[in-house]
């Protein structure tokens, strides 16, 4: 069912340039966030008017891809400056489906976070930081999706959606983390995701939500009063620190105010019937479809999808478990089975990108405004390495159709976090660093 775009209000209708509005949405903590000064009716209209702004989707699995089947067979004569970009290459066995989106995607080889830990390093895929190292980082181990979501709170009903595998071996891939070091629990299946996107809560549920928001505000009021009492006995340095704390409290208050506006706003009409959960293999295409709907209806601008240990090869007609097949011990029968399930994952990713290309919002195809990252925090599960991670970047108005290769032995090889800086800037976040980045990523234009 097509979206009725007559409901959307253009930015000029409320007297504000869209670019200025977006820049205001991403300013540093403590500065005014303009939509919070509007009336609720105008603010809701402004959220809808911005439905064509930049979006981001990150997809990860917990066991990577068999390197010999994933990477292209192109032969490199030399890598000038530790880097090369080529258009003439042949995809690997597993990545053959990417031919269908060749001009909408880029393979990136040779990047990682220089992290060790095998399965226990997978969770750093979108953060660049292991949880055990988070205390030494200014932003902890916050992941790129949650980092970006902090800049758009209030613009959509959900600042971000985390979807996919809730459990699995070693706790799943644990894709999304807040800056406080807390894992964002994923929505585990299409049934739950559908309800979150399209089923309105009851009046009793709305009242409960309002009470919860009111309680949060009350707690913040008490904290602020206590902090003001403490201020009288502090020196100037500590008063400055306390002022930073006040700024953080005010920011939380604004976030609560922006989120509260959505309680009485009806959810969009569903385009499909409510699905039933089956298994991760059969549910995967449906989860992708629901993410497309969430982006199209401007319910969110950011989504992550985890493919964890509950991805069962048996549901593809393949004998053996996902984890055991990834530790194939070079047995060809296991490698063949592994390639079957990995190819399926890439086929569904390709289907997702193709759907973004034909799905329109109020500015055009979603693929033009949506940056999609596909990969894993595991480079080779059989050898338990977190190096040379499998990375595909699609959409987002980049110049695609290439294989970017970075020499793993080059002394100035960039970290994967450099790609995240580039993605954040494309999303509209004015940030020149993320985790252990050294800048933006060379080769992406």
DSSP code per residue over 92-150 = -STTGGGGGGGGGEEEEES-------GGGGGGGTTTSS-GGGGGGSTTTT--HHHHHHT
Comparing 74-83, 224-233, 275-284, 304-313, the range with the smallest average pLDDT is 224-233
Which pLDDT score is estimated for 247?
63
User: If pLDDT is split at 50, 70 and 90, which confidence band does 242 have?
Assistant: low
105, 393 contact by CB (below 8 A): yes
CA distance 438 to 440: 7
99, 401 contact by CB (below 8 A): no
Which pLDDT score is estimated for 173?
79
CA distance 256 to 123: 29
Q: Is the pLDDT of residue 308 over 60?
A: yes
Distances (CA, A) of 53 to 23, 275, 295, 363: 12, 29, 10, 8
Comparison of pLDDT for 157 and 421, the residue scoring more: 421
Q: Is the pLDDT of residue 128 over 60?
A: yes
Which pLDDT score is estimated for 165?
81
Distances (CA, A) of 275 to 191, 196, 309, 338, 356: 5, 12, 22, 28, 21
Average pLDDT over residues 313-334: 90
Write the CB contacts of 357 (distance below 8 Å, at least 6 apart in sequence): 101, 104, 365, 366, 367
82, 410 contact by CB (below 8 A): yes
Which pLDDT score is estimated for 77?
60
Q: Is the pLDDT of residue 141 over 50?
A: yes
User: If pLDDT is split at 50, 70 and 90, which confidence band does 202 have?
Assistant: low
- The closest alpha carbon to 329, from 383, 249, 270, 409, belongs to 383
Which pLDDT score is estimated for 241?
62
User: If pLDDT is split at 50, 70 and 90, which confidence band does 236 have?
Assistant: confident
Which pLDDT score is estimated for 5?
30
CA distance 62 to 379: 10
Q: Is the pLDDT of residue 265 over 80?
A: no
Give the CA radius of gyration of the chain: 22
The secondary structure of residue 402, as a DSSP letter, is E
pLDDT exceeding 90 applies to what percent of the chain?
A: 52
Comparison of pLDDT for 171 and 441, the residue scoring more: 441
Instruction: Tell me what the pLDDT averaged over the chain comes to.
Output: 80
Which pLDDT score is estimated for 375?
98
Average pLDDT over residues 82-98: 94
Write the CB contacts of 387 (distance below 8 Å, at least 6 apart in sequence): 112, 114, 379, 380, 408
Average pLDDT over residues 166-174: 64
Distances (CA, A) of 438 to 288, 441, 443: 33, 9, 15
Q: Is the pLDDT of residue 14 over 80?
A: no
Comparing 131-135, 195-199, 322-326, 395-399, the range with the smallest average pLDDT is 195-199
């Amino acid at each position: 069912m097509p979206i009725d775009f007559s409901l959307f209000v253009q930015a000029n209708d409320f007297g504000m340039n869209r670019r200025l509005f977006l820049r205001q949405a991403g300013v540093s903590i403590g500065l005014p966030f303009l939509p919070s000064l509007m009336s609720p009716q105008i603010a809701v209209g402004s959220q809808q008017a911005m439905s064509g702004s930049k979006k981001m989707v990150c997809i990860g699995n917990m066991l990577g891809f068999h390197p010999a089947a994933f990477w292209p067979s192109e032969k490199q004569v030399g890598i000038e400056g530790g880097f090369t970009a080529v258009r003439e290459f042949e995809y690997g066995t597993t990545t053959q489906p990417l031919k269908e989106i060749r001009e909408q995607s880029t393979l990136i080889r040779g990047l990682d976070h220089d992290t060790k830990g095998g399965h226990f390093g997978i969770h750093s895929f979108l953060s660049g930081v292991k949880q055990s190292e988070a205390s030494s980082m200014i932003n902890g181990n916050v992941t790129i999706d949650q980092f970006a979501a902090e800049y758009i709170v209030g613009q959509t009903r959900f600042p971000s959606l985390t979807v996919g595998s809730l459990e699995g071996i070693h706790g799943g891939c644990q894709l999304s983390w807040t800056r406080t070091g807390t894992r964002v629990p994923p929505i585990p299946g299409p049934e739950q995701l559908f309800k979150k996107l399209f089923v309105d809560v009851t009046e009793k549920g709305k009242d409960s939500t309002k009470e919860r928001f009111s309680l949060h505000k009350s707690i913040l009021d008490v904290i602020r009063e206590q902090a003001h009492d403490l201020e009288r006995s502090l020196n100037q340095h500590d008063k400055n620190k306390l002022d930073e704390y006040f700024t953080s409290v005010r920011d939380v208050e604004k976030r609560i105010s922006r989120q509260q506006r959505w309680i009485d706003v009806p959810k969009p009409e569903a385009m499909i019937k409510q699905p039933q959960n089956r298994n991760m293999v059969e549910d995967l295409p449906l989860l992708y479809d629901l993410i497309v709907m969430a982006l199209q209806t401007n319910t969110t601008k950011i989504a992550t999808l985890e493919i964890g240990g509950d991805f069962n090869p048996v549901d593809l007609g393949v004998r053996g478990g996902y984890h055991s097949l990834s530790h194939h011990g070079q047995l060809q029968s296991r490698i063949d089975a592994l390639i079957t399930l990995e190819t399926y994952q890439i086929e569904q990713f390709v289907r997702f990108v193709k759907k973004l290309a034909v799905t329109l919002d109020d500015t055009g195809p979603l693929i033009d405004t949506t940056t999609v990252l596909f990969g894993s925090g595991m480079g080779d599960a059989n050898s338990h390495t977190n190096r040379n991670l499998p990375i595909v970047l699609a959409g987002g108005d980049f110049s695609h159709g290439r294989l970017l290769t970075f020499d793993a032995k080059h002394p100035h090889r960039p970290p994967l976090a450099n790609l995240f800086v580039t993605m954040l800037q494309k999303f509209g976040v004015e940030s020149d660093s993320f985790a252990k980045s050294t800048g933006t990523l060379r080769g992406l234009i």
